[in-house]
């Protein structure tokens, strides 16, 4: 499974989102954090902005919905052009119904788990999703440090996916950098979100390449 690097535009300049999407043209996806100030204590952007980002982005969009009532809102992100739509397990009323709806719309679908949310309830439902997002910080803000205690959850998820013979991606998000990406990859993650590490680098394309190489050396 190749290592994919998805820079988070939460660390971009919000007055220059088109320019900053242009800077990550060598990435695999652009990770877009949608926060509603209810599911998390922060507010970012919503559908009207997301629709425009999908029109101007050089890479496909990976929507991470940190919002209440994703059952209602998530399909509109697929409709707006998201290649991948990830909703939170803690917020969804009917995660299987929602995942099926997103796939029917032609998007990849992911289910996200806060650090304290166990993966076990989802291990029997792996055929219903394309990706599990294991949050490696509490969602809400960029620039936090990687929670090492999430590594066993990544490992258990990867073991279950391998045992089932499935091609489900595992994404990690939060505190991913040169100093943590190898441990996440070794545990079984293959999609790496990095906000401050990428946009804080002097040479953004070189940082993407470095992260991809470090993760790829531990690919499962
Ligand atoms: C946090 C967001 C992340 C954030 C990561 O809730 O989901 O995508 O941008 O930022 P870094 O990489 O700086 O931890
Ligand atoms: Zn995110």
- Ligand 1-lining residues (CB < 6 angstroms): 8, 10-11, 31, 33, 64, 137, 139-144, 173-176, 193-197
Cβ neighbours, 10 Å, residue 40: 20
CB 35 within 8 A of CB 44: yes
Beta strands in 124-220 (DSSP E): 131-135, 169-173, 191-194
**Biggest alpha carbon–alpha carbon distance for the chain:** 46
- Is 28 in the active site? no
| Per-residue pLDDT, 2 | 87
Residue 28's pLDDT is what? 98
Give CA separation, 119 vs 141, 182, 205, in Å: 22, 21, 33
Name the residue with the closest Cα to ligand 1, atom 6: 139
Q: What is the mean pLDDT of the chain?
A: 98
Has residue 1 got a pLDDT over 90? no
**Model confidence at 219, in pLDDT bands (50, 70, 90)?**
confident
Domains of the chain: 4-216 (3.20.20.70)
Query: Which ligand has the shortest distance to the CA of 114?
Result: 1
How many other CB atoms are found less than 10 A from the CB of residue 219? 12
Question: pLDDT value at position 167?
Answer: 97
Helix (H) or strand (E) holding 216: helix 204-216
C-alpha–C-alpha distance, residues 174 and 184, integer Å:
11
Distance 94 CA to ligand 1 centre (A): 26
């Amino acid at each position: 499974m190749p290592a994919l690097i998805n820079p988070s535009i939460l660390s971009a300049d919000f007055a220059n989102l088109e320019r900053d999407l242009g800077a990550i043209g060598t990435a695999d996806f652009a990770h877009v954090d949608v926060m509603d100030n209810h599911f998390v204590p922060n507010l970012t952007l919503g559908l009207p902005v997301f629709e425009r980002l999908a029109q101007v982005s050089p890479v496909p969009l990976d929507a991470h919905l940190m919002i209440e009532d994703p059952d209602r809102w998530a399909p509109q992100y697929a409709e707006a052009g998201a290649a991948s739509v990830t909703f939170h397990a803690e917020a969804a009323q009917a995660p299987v119904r929602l995942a099926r709806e997103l796939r029917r719309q032609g998007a990849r679908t992911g289910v996200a788990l806060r650090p304290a949310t166990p993966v076990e309830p989802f291990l029997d439902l792996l055929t219903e999703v394309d990706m599990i997002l294991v949050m490696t910080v509490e969602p809400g803000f960029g620039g936090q440090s990687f929670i090492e205690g999430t590594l066993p959850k990544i490992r258990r998820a990867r073991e279950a996916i391998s045992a089932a013979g499935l091609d489900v991606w595992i994404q990690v998000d939060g505190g991913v950098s040169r100093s943590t990406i190898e441990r996440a990859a070794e545990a079984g993650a293959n999609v790496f979100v990095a906000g401050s590490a990428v946009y804080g680098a002097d040479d953004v394309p070189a940082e993407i390449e470095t992260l991809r190489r470090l993760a790829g050396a531990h690919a499962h």
